[in-house]
């Protein structure tokens, strides 16, 4: 019996629906179903009775879920106590950040932290939002700079909106549009495009389609890619162009040119939102001090975004 299995059955019992429980846990319904079945098989009991219309808890399941809630409450409290002791001893804050924030915002934030909180060390973890959110929920991160997903943040998290990032166009060197100072979506109507996969980068994916829809056009998609470096290398190889966050500009490889993209000022949906989030029920003065610093300087970062 594993802790993650207990969290899964408690979520299903709370929601009485595998789909909603999976959304709450930031996992796929099929993976949640497998996890519950593995626990049932391991214990030799049926926790839930499932039909196509409803989920009900068995008598054995009710007893197990009651014990699971008590265990998880004690575990979360113990983790909180030990993390506070560890923070006092080592003064380390674990910060997660998506790639654009890690390159565009974190260096300036670290400068501010070192000046205001010289005893606090920042341990940086760079990853995509869909990977950072579960780490926050699991307690392996204290704070994260992420984009919101396709649904609201998990109810165990809280945070603030920081800024909206604009986009640029990256083109292969030698492309007919590469020497232009600024491009419009109309200019890109016949240009082959590389776009991120929606499951891994939903905002960046949807932004491309929103920009073209607003212009009354259809994007010409030739390739999907998950990772920024893969996208950039495809552009450098001449496979197509890409519309990417502005803070990626410092990460382009040789053979790629950056051109500004005209974006309407009064259309926030055509920008990429960045939030700072953290566990709602965890008290942490060091984290709160870093959040206060971040909020005090985010307007400066917004100018360059």
Can you give the residue range of the structural domain that contains 110? Answer: 91-163+275-303
Q: Is 247 exposed, middle or buried (0-12, 13-18, 19+ CB in 10 A)?
A: buried
Q: What is the mean pLDDT of residues 25-31?
A: 86
Determine the pLDDT at residue 88. Answer: 53
The answer, yes or no, to whether residue 305 has pLDDT greater than 80, is no
Q: Quick one: DSSP state of residue 168? A: E
| DSSP assignment string, 223-277 | EEESSHHHHHHHHHTTS-BEEEEGGGGGG--TTEEEEEE---TT-GGGSEEEEEE
Determine the pLDDT at residue 145. Answer: 96
| Residue 36 maps to a domain | yes
- Whether pTM exceeds 0.85: no
Mark whether 260 and 237 lie in a shared domain.
yes
CATH of the domain at 31: 1.10.10.10
Mark whether 69 and 131 lie in a shared domain.
no
Spatial separation of the C-alpha atoms in residues 86 and 121, rounded to whole Å: 13
Mark whether 50 and 198 lie in a shared domain.
no
First to last CA, the chain: 47
Mark whether 66 and 205 lie in a shared domain.
no
Mark whether 183 and 245 lie in a shared domain.
yes
Determine the pLDDT at residue 141. Answer: 93
Mark whether 182 and 247 lie in a shared domain.
yes
Structure tokens at 192: 């082959």
The pLDDT confidence band at residue 271, using thresholds 50, 70 and 90, is confident
- Buried residues in 16-42 as b, exposed as e (16+ CB within 10 A): eebeebbbbbbbeeeebbebbeebbee
Mark whether 152 and 287 lie in a shared domain.
yes
| Residue 38 maps to a domain | yes
Measure the CA dihedral 80/86/89/95, to 10°: -100
Q: What is the mean pLDDT of residues 214-226?
A: 91
Own/partner contacts of 83-90, CB < 8 Å, gap of 24 or more, are 83/139, 83/282, 83/284, 84/284, 87/284, 87/286, 90/121
| Residue 210 maps to a domain | yes
Mark whether 201 and 108 lie in a shared domain.
no
**Per the structure, how many domains does the chain have?**
3
Q: What is the largest CA-CA distance in the chain?
A: 70
Nearest to residue 144, comparing CAs of 179, 188, 101, 189?
101
Q: Quick one: DSSP state of residue 188? A: G
Determine the pLDDT at residue 291. Answer: 94
CATH of the domain at 149: 3.40.190.10
Mark whether 150 and 8 lie in a shared domain.
no
- pLDDT tens digits along 252-265: 888 899 999 987 76
Q: Domain ends where: 44, 61, 81?
A: 81
| Residue 181 maps to a domain | yes
Mark whether 196 and 150 lie in a shared domain.
no
Determine the pLDDT at residue 268. Answer: 63
Determine the pLDDT at residue 155. Answer: 84
200 phi/psi in degrees, rounded to 5? -95, -30
- pLDDT tens digits along 82-124: 766 655 555 789 999 998 888 888 988 999 898 988 888 999 9
| Residue 86 maps to a domain | no
Mark whether 139 and 286 lie in a shared domain.
yes
Nearest to residue 274, comparing CAs of 293, 302, 304, 232?
302
Mark whether 181 and 260 lie in a shared domain.
yes
Determine the pLDDT at residue 198. Answer: 83
């Amino acid at each position: 019996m594993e802790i993650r299995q207990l969290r899964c059955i408690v979520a299903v019992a709370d929601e009485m629906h595998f789909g909603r429980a999976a959304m709450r846990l930031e996992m796929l319904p099929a993976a949640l179903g497998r996890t519950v079945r593995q626990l049932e098989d391991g214990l030799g009991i049926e926790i839930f009775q499932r039909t196509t219309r409803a989920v009900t808890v068995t008598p054995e399941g009710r007893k197990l879920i009651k014990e699971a809630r008590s265990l998880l409450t004690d575990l979360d409290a113990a983790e909180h106590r030990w993390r506070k002791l560890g923070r006092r001893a080592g003064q380390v804050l674990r910060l997660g950040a998506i790639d654009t924030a890690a390159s565009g915002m974190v260096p300036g934030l670290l400068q501010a932290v070192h000046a205001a909180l010289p005893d606090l060390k920042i341990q940086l973890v760079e990853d995509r939002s869909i990977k950072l959110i579960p780490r926050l929920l699991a307690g392996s991160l204290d704070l994260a700079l992420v984009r919101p997903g396709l649904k609201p943040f998990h109810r165990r998290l809280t945070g603030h909106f920081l800024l909206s990032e604009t986009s640029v166009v990256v083109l292969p060197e030698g492309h007919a549009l590469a020497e232009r100072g600024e491009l419009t979506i109309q200019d890109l109507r016949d240009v082959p495009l590389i776009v991120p996969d929606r499951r891994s980068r939903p905002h960046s994916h949807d932004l491309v389609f929103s920009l073209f829809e607003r212009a009354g056009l259809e994007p010409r998609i030739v390739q999907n890619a998950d990772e920024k470096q893969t996208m950039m290398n495809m552009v450098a190889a001449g496979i197509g162009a890409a519309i990417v966050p502005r803070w990626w500009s410092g990460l382009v490889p040789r053979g790629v040119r950056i051109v500004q993209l005209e974006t309407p000022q009064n259309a926030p949906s055509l920008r990429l939102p960045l939030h700072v989030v953290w566990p709602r029920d965890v008290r942490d003065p060091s984290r709160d001090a870093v959040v206060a610093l971040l909020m005090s300087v985010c307007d400066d970062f917004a100018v360059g975004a």
